[in-house]
Chains A and B, each alone.
With several copies, the nearest count.
Chain A
Amino acid sequence: MDLKQLYQDIILEHGKSPRNFGKFNGYSHHARGHNPLCGDLVQIYLKLNNEKKVEKLTFEGSGCAISMASTSIMTELVKGNSFDVAKNIISIFLNMIKNNLDIKSTELNEDQKTKIMSLSGVNQYPMRVKCATLAWHTLASAMDEKKEEVNTEITE
């Protein structure tokens, strides 16, 4: 295990200054996520436009550096993509975290790959995986228009 792998500069930076933070009016999708172990909560707001493109994506909530950074990075990566690509990015991320896989997707450019890979250190910290994945599961839930709150105890 290597703490530096977990707390990379990019993580610390996003953790401190999360992008796309806050609620906005006129969102088309919304979901709420909860990690009962630590009490962290996240809310995702999303606007899909007529072409089914993620026009806007923001979040509210509080949590550890890992969860804040992961959420912030997620919003940056997903925003601007089509529904299907967005869904694909989510599954690329979850796959990476769960199965310790390299990113081989052609849908991501190098910069995006670097960003997503910055979260791969979480792998070595099983109790922190849920911190990293909560927002992603919640986004998926918002996109699928599920009514139930996402609960990390259920998603794994």
Chain B
Amino acid sequence: MNIKTIKSEFPIFSNKVNGKTLVYLDSSNSSQKPKSVLNSLDNFYKNEFSNIGRSIHSLAVNATNKYEETRMSIKNFINASSKDEIVFTKNATESINLVATTFGQQNIQKGDEILITELEHHSNYVPWHYLRETRGAVIKFAPIDENGDIIIDKLKELITSKTKIISVTHVSNVTGTIVPIKDIVEIAHKRNIPVLVDGCQSAPHIKINVKDLDCDFYVISCHKVYGPTGVGILYAKKKWLEKLPPYIGGGGMISEVKKDKITYASVPEKYEAGTMPTAEVVAFNESIKFIQSIGIENIMKHEKEITDYALEKLKTINSVNIIGNPKNKAGVISFTLKGIHPHDISTIVDEEGVAIRAGHHCCQILHEKLGLAATARASIGIYNTKEDIDILCQSIEKCRKVFE
């Protein structure tokens, strides 16, 4: 595997930022896109564009087929049982809202408990919070230890007969913690509790097998998986999609509409109301093919190498403090620099062409636990090299000079 070649697939890296070569270390936020994805988008709009599922002319037939091909690719990519278990949404946030809202309507009564963790992104907390506000649910937070690992025993203790669902991230977007989902699902299923997994930070980086994980719901954001913006994925076991009520209502998700009564389409169409991000879904197929052409194992290996190298090197810089030290860590490295606020770090390294993120990364609960208002975060994608890490480290040294 040649990273130079892979990197050259991403047009953005032929650009300069602030006169410097772009060192993109913000992939946890959103990934860059390979040529093949952009070509697909462009080609679809230029040569094949039509709305899907409604008209029956040739353009529409072709577009509908391509759209469904992506669904099939995703099914294979995450090893779902059927392509009907794949619902397209606008982003992972909508996917979680879909589940929280429809599951809540059917299953959450006053006093029922929802179990999440201290690692969760706001997108995996606010939708459940709504159920607290509207239906009187109780939200419990499984705690993490000082390494950033969820304390599984504590999680277990928090489960009661009132626990109706567990919602947990697969990989933390702050500490990079890889959560032992299989264990959690096993614990949950023993007590008949369904589990939603937030796969935003895992999809492009580690192997996903929903059948093996046996989770009930799995959500992905395509823009983090080398795909276009505007598309998210909800995987759900078919029994759930069939049982839960519909979410967004409108064209395309109905069966029969009368003045006094409406029946809904079967799954997955039941959950795809209105005109979908057709071109973006079609192009996302190329993202999956791109990942498959490299091989997820090779991606994991490469990203681990870069991550280990980064951790090693950052530790040699005095005054760098790395957040969390989980048992299994993906390519997400949050850190602080003594005496320098993360926002100042970001501004200064940006001057060197280095894009990192500073802030709470939509994880205020975790930051409160850490006792920090903000951290700086470097996150790794398939295109990152050791050279990128070297430049990051040099620019961190520059921060220290500015503040000396």
**What CA separation (Å) do A80 and B61 show in the bound complex?**
38
Task: Judge whether A38 and B344 touch: CB under 8 Å.
Answer: no
Q: List residues 329-345 of chain B with CB under 8 A from any CB of chain A.
A: 339-344
Could you say which of A49-57, A62-70, A111-119 contacts chain B? A62-70
Is residue A26 within 8 Å, beta carbon to beta carbon, of the partner chain? Answer: no
* Nearest A residue to B339, CB-CB: A16
Task: Judge whether B265 and A128 touch: CB under 8 Å.
Answer: no
Q: Is the interface of B mostly helix, strand, loop or mixed?
A: mixed
* Nearest B residue to A36, CB-CB: B255
Task: Judge whether B373 and A39 touch: CB under 8 Å.
Answer: yes
Is residue A27 within 8 Å, beta carbon to beta carbon, of the partner chain? Answer: no
Q: Report A27-59 CB contacts with B as 1/0, cut-off 8 Å.
A: 000000010111111000000000000000000
**Distance between A71 CB and nearest chain B CB, rounded to angstroms:** 13
* Nearest A residue to B351, CB-CB: A3
Is residue A131 within 8 Å, beta carbon to beta carbon, of the partner chain? Answer: yes
Q: Which of B64, B348, B360 contacts A39 (CB 8 A)?
A: B360
Is residue B359 within 8 Å, beta carbon to beta carbon, of the partner chain? Answer: yes
Is residue B374 within 8 Å, beta carbon to beta carbon, of the partner chain? Answer: yes
**Distance between A10 CB and nearest chain B CB, rounded to angstroms:** 14
**What CA separation (Å) do A120 and B374 show in the bound complex?**
24
Interface footprint category on A = 20 to 34
Q: Which of B64, B254, B265, B360 contacts A38 (CB 8 A)?
A: B360
Task: Judge whether A66 and B343 touch: CB under 8 Å.
Answer: yes
Q: Report A1-27 CB contacts with B as 1/0, cut-off 8 Å.
A: 101001100001000100000000000
Is residue A153 within 8 Å, beta carbon to beta carbon, of the partner chain? Answer: yes
Q: How many residues of B contact A (CB 8 A)?
A: 32
**What CA separation (Å) do A6 and B56 show in the bound complex?**
15
Beyond A38-B374, A131-B343, A153-B265, whether A65 also contacts B403 by CB under 8 A is yes
Residues of B with C-beta under 8 A to A127: 56, 60-61, 64, 347
Task: Judge whether A153 and B269 touch: CB under 8 Å.
Answer: yes
**What CA separation (Å) do A39 and B320 show in the bound complex?**
21
Task: Judge whether A7 and B402 touch: CB under 8 Å.
Answer: yes
Task: Judge whether A36 and B341 touch: CB under 8 Å.
Answer: no
Residues of A with C-beta under 8 A to B364: 39
Q: List residues 140-156 of chain A with CB under 8 A from any CB of chain B.
A: 151, 153-154
* Nearest A residue to B65, CB-CB: A126
Q: Report B34-74 CB contacts with A as 1/0, cut-off 8 Å.
A: 00000000000000000001101000110011000000000
Residues of B with C-beta under 8 A to A38: 342-343, 358-360, 373-374
Beyond A39-B360, A153-B255, whether A125 also contacts B373 by CB under 8 A is no
Task: Judge whether A65 and B344 touch: CB under 8 Å.
Answer: yes
16 new A-B contacts at CB < 8 Å, known A38-B358, A39-B359: A3-B347, A3-B402, A34-B255, A36-B256, A36-B265, A37-B56, A39-B360, A39-B374, A62-B373, A64-B343, A66-B343, A125-B61, A125-B347, A126-B61, A127-B61, A127-B64
Q: List 18 A-B contacts (CB under 8 A).
A: A1-B18, A1-B351, A7-B348, A12-B402, A16-B339, A34-B256, A37-B53, A37-B56, A37-B359, A39-B360, A39-B364, A39-B367, A63-B341, A63-B343, A66-B344, A126-B65, A127-B61, A127-B347
Interface residues of B (CB under 8 A from A): 18, 53-54, 56, 60-61, 64-65, 254-256, 265-266, 269, 339-344, 347-348, 351, 358-360, 364, 367, 373-374, 402-403
